[in-house]
Structure 1
Amino acid sequence: MDIQSLFSVKDKVVLITGGAKGIGRMISEAFVVNGAKVYIASRDAAACKSACAELNALPGVRPGSAVPLPADLSSLSECQRLAAEISAREKKLHVLINNSGATWGETYDSYPDSAWTKLVTLNLQRVFTLTQLLTPLLEAAGQASKTQEVIADPGRVIHIGSIDALRVPLLPTFAYSATKAGLHHLSRHLAVELGPRGITSNTLACGPFPSKMMAATLREFGDDIRAANPLGRIGVPSDVGGACLFLASRAGAFVNGATLALDGGVALMSKI
């Protein structure tokens, strides 16, 4: 199979939560410029509309390729509304990227109970909720590619995890690392559950990328973070965009239940 077909996401329908900013925005652009139709959902309605306007104005992008669908993804009713709106617009959803998330850093002795409630809900529970609600559309996408009892191009669920779920972070982000570790295992559980239904589930365990969540850390420790990485840098948009394109294309059709460390190898480094 030629490279253009193997890695193509042209005409696929994609939903990216938190797709207006940071890593989500990087992923959104990768899909839009490669011919996909991308729905962007996040709590910040203005950011959703602005990101979509910017993406639709990119050279070579078809008008209307990026569509804003604002939603507070920490809310059950909002997840239900979002799923209903997607279902009203599309018969199939080829790719769901669960990227929305939050972090909370505070010392152990003062770490609040409210941090756990917020992060467990958004980073873990609602990922299950939204995936569950959109499973019929993801299943329809996979079944549409079925030939001779084989699903050639499954529906895809891609979770944006963290290397802090693979190691103990230096920063006091207890709820973040724990919920991301839960997300990694949820992805594996979903891979087993949804695989027979023609849907794969995989995780990108991301290292440092330029984003609002990482901004303060990079300002204070950016040079140290780069120096500690075997590749001597932090992530760039093509790193995470390319990884998602691989997992969403025919090239990644047989990858299921995997956790890919997208960090330049920094999670392998000893802190001793």
Structure 2
Amino acid sequence: MTRDDALTLNDFRDKVVLITGGTKGIGRACALAFARLGAQCWLTNRWGSADEDELREAFARVGARAPVIVEADASKKRETKALIERMREAGVEGVDVFISNVAMVVRGEGLDAHSERALLKSLEYSAWPFVDYLHQLEAGFGRYPEYAIAMSSDGPDQHYPHYDYVAVAKSVLETFVRYMSTHLREQGVKVNALRTRQVPTDSYAQIFGEDNTALAARFAEFSVTPEEVAATTLGLCSGLFDSFGGQVLQLDRGAAFVDNVMTMGRRLLGESDAGEAKPEPSPRAPAPAIIELGSAEGEGAGSVRALMRRRLEGKAVIITGGTKGIGLACGLAFGSCGARTYLTNRWGSADEGAIASAFAEVGAPAPVILEADASLDEDTASLMERVHADVGDGGLEVLISNVSFAHISQEHHDLSFKGLKRSLTYSAWPFVSYLQHAKQRFGRLPRYAIGMSSRGPEYFLPGYDFVAASKAVMETFCRYLTSDLLDEDIRINVLRANPVETESLEATFGPEFAPFCKKWYAEGFFIQPREVAEAALALCSGLMDGVRGQVLLLDRGFGFSDNVVRLFTERERYGL
């Protein structure tokens, strides 16, 4: 796809988007989102289930090109081949985005009623088409799509009545996402799954029935609209999230973490924490990003940049540790969208002239560079005062906590509680402290808060004990703060990344670490600072507002295949 120079943003004008089950619910919302940006959408349905005239009118209302609607049963290979042949006859040279949204509802009725036939039928419709379509697209066009998105749900990990077969199919689908991401990495295909929860569609009502649908309505703030799913899908395919591969992204507004008896029990009883009657909350508004995309003509056509600029221009973005590496990359990304960036550093560690030149090169407003020790309350308070003086109460849009400082241990006998406290003071607590100070000074929280983490909490790295412990604290606070602030206008998430080539990486692991990794991995193993920055920008773009309380791994899918078995299967390549 055509890329934006300053950011990895895709231009969707005249790109081909194929969506199975694309005429209703989530599929329809995805089609409208891409079509608004100039894409040509091909939508499949079964046996006349679509109101084609109404669908074309919906596209016309937003100034989008009319979709091509094709009856094609996703479980039948001959119909998939016929679809691709029709696309080729229409002059289509390849599919750029493939969205697998088909699911067949087979209700589970308990142990005695289970049958192998029902299981296989569910897999045939709701899991296998994702793999088969990718095979058929490559066979028909000689290339794979650049993006492949599978629509899943949280059914594999959350019990829903009668959802047995759908949940099993979704678990198989997610497994294939991980494996296909590994298989197709060298072809440049970005493969991911999007897990949703409580999306009010015809399919939802069909599966769960009237009583369960009414019960879910009592928790309307956790319902995700089809438009939010579509916006997130667009974010995954925007180019900004390309380092996110082979992953299952949870889209639930933070509901999964609080969905337990201890947290929700009083809600079910209609009481507040104090034991008083609690009013039912009103449903939240649909994702604004889709509304703001505008028509397929004019400034916004084919570009997410216009959306980014409308949301971020003139808004304040605070980035701790913002003068080098990931922090500086974040500043450049947000600055290129017109944001006013405030970059903190310690004790003159920034080359301010070089930073100013880098911002000028991408057409960004000059950043404000401030010395501020993230571990000192007085420095944080002074920083907030400075930002408030510039932008007023409503101007703080984004907080990115990127500062990290910790003792690197040579062996476990070096570990001490004093070292742990020092690590937490610099690398975890500022994530909370900055939010406290921001709320106190601005009278509200920033709309977005991003914490920068690493794979350390779940992946052994030598000498990384204290850093890993600090990152674990930050990630846990991300989840709990999301729960505590569900009623606030804030989205809190954490980005984990595979090793990022920065000065910090070399300082932590030494100069031989990066060359060694590159010897035994493809170049794509390392994540670049710009990629982390663009993922942060996507999370703050308005496209992914339903993603809350999540820890997202940026590793291009390498984590799934990072094991001795991979080295064994590729031993000839590496001369082992």
Q: TM-score, normalised by structure 1?
A: 0.84
Percent identity between the two aligned chains: 25
Q: Counterpart of 1:72 in structure 2: which amino acid?
A: D
- Answer yes or no: is the 8 Å Cα contact 1:161–1:206 preserved in 2: yes
CA offset digits 1:148-206 (Å, max 9, x no partner) = xxxxxxx00011011112x1323122111011011111111111222311011000012
1:49 pairs, out of 349, 352, 360, with 352
1:141 & 1:229 partners in 2: Cα distance?
Answer: 42
* Superposed displacement of residue 18, structure 1: 0.3
Q: Which residue matches 2:328?
A: 25
Map 1:165-176; keep pairs closer than 5 Å: 165=457, 167-176=458-467
Map 1:207-222; keep pairs closer than 5 Å: 207-216=498-507, 217=509, 219-222=511-514
Give the 3 Å change call, closer, same or farther, for CA 60–82 of structure 1 in structure 2: closer
1:191 pairs, out of 476, 479, 482, with 482
* Superposed displacement of residue 229, structure 1: 5.1
Give the 3 Å change call, closer, same or farther, for CA 210–231 of structure 1 in structure 2: closer
Q: Which residue matches 2:79?
A: none
Q: Which residue matches 2:554?
A: 262
Q: Which residue matches 1:12?
A: 315
> Alpha carbon RMSD of aligned pairs, Å?
2.5
Q: Which residue matches 1:68?
A: 369
2:351 & 2:488 partners in 1: Cα distance?
Answer: 31
Q: Which moved more, 1:133-142 or 1:76-85?
A: 133-142
- Answer yes or no: is the 8 Å Cα contact 2:406–2:467 preserved in 1: yes
CA offset digits 1:110-129 (Å, max 9, x no partner) = 22443212111111122211
- Answer yes or no: is the 8 Å Cα contact 1:52–1:68 preserved in 2: no
2:370 & 2:452 partners in 1: Cα distance?
Answer: 19
The alignment partner of 1:95 has SS state of: strand
Q: Which residue matches 1:148?
A: none
Give the 3 Å change call, closer, same or farther, for CA 230–265 of structure 1 in structure 2: farther
Q: Which residue matches 1:162?
A: 454
2:437 pairs, out of 109, 113, 133, with 133
Give the 3 Å change call, closer, same or farther, for CA 139–253 of structure 1 in structure 2: farther
Are positions 1:251 and 2:251 aligned together?
Answer: no
1:183 & 1:33 partners in 2: Cα distance?
Answer: 28
Which runs of 5 or more residues in structure 2 are unaligned? 1-292, 294-299, 566-576
Q: Which residue matches 2:424?
A: 120
CA offset digits 1:99-155 (Å, max 9, x no partner) = 11113221111224432121111111222111111136777587xxxxxxxxxxxx0
Give the 3 Å change call, closer, same or farther, for CA 101–33 of structure 1 in structure 2: same
Q: Which moved more, 1:191-200 or 1:180-189?
A: 191-200
Aligned residues: 257
Q: Which residue matches 1:89?
A: 390
- Answer yes or no: is the 8 Å Cα contact 2:313–2:338 preserved in 1: yes
2:445 & 2:415 partners in 1: Cα distance?
Answer: 43
CA offset digits 1:56-79 (Å, max 9, x no partner) = 4324234xx311121011112222
Q: Which residue matches 1:180?
A: 471
Q: Which residue matches 1:201?
A: 492
> Radius of gyration: which is bigger?
2
The alignment partner of 1:34 has SS state of: coil
CA offset digits 1:221-250 (Å, max 9, x no partner) = 213323555774311233112101101111
Are positions 1:223 and 2:223 aligned together?
Answer: no
1:42 & 1:215 partners in 2: Cα distance?
Answer: 19
- Answer yes or no: is the 8 Å Cα contact 2:454–2:497 preserved in 1: yes
Q: Which moved more, 1:44-53 or 1:199-208?
A: 44-53
Are positions 1:109 and 2:413 aligned together?
Answer: yes
Give the 3 Å change call, closer, same or farther, for CA 184–59 of structure 1 in structure 2: closer
The alignment partner of 1:241 has SS state of: helix
The alignment partner of 1:203 has SS state of: strand
The alignment partner of 2:361 has SS state of: coil
1:185 & 1:39 partners in 2: Cα distance?
Answer: 26
Q: Counterpart of 1:135 in structure 2: which amino acid?
A: K
- Answer yes or no: is the 8 Å Cα contact 2:499–2:526 preserved in 1: yes
* Superposed displacement of residue 212, structure 1: 1.6
Q: Counterpart of 1:214 in structure 2: which amino acid?
A: L
2:354 & 2:403 partners in 1: Cα distance?
Answer: 15
1:37 & 1:236 partners in 2: Cα distance?
Answer: 23
Are positions 1:239 and 2:517 aligned together?
Answer: no
